[in-house]
Amino acid sequence: MSHPKIKISLRRLKSKRVLDQLFDSGQIIRSRNLLLRYQLIETVPAFYVGVSVSKRNFKKAVDRNRIKRQLREGLREADSQNFFYGNCMLIFTGKKASETMVLKEEISALFNKMKPDSF
């Protein structure tokens, strides 16, 4: 079911219960540097999203925080027509830090890969 011309607000995904449910039963889409876990929920009034970067690949918190800022910026600038009602976790899986424009393109490509009939 699509939601044409509805502005879906981005909210932070914080609840441990919701995160556990997302990782247990959510669907996955991968790209070169990103992994998108998502769960469509029609009863949720917004698009809840979280971002994560592995401590194993980036030891310094400065590097992890920079990548998280880039991911959040990419989400803000992504086309809101591809957003949906539900939960989403965007995980950076690359070994090296990427440029902001590359990440923005990957985020847009991930949301375009999602099944259009599923929302």
Q: How far apart are CA 74 and CA 10, in angstroms?
A: 12
Is residue 3 helix, strand or coil? coil
Domain ranges of the chain: 10-113
Would you state the structure tokens that stand for residue 54, as one six-digit string?
């592995």
**Global pTM?**
0.84
DSSP type of residue 4: T
Q: What is the pLDDT of residues 89-107, one digit of tens each?
A: 999 999 999 999 999 999 9
The architecture of the domain spanning 10-113 is 2-Layer Sandwich (3.30)
Query: 49, 13 in Cβ contact below 8 A?
Result: yes
CA 115, distance to chain mean position in Å, is 15
Q: What is the pLDDT of residues 53-84, one digit of tens each?
A: 999 999 999 999 999 999 999 988 887 777 78
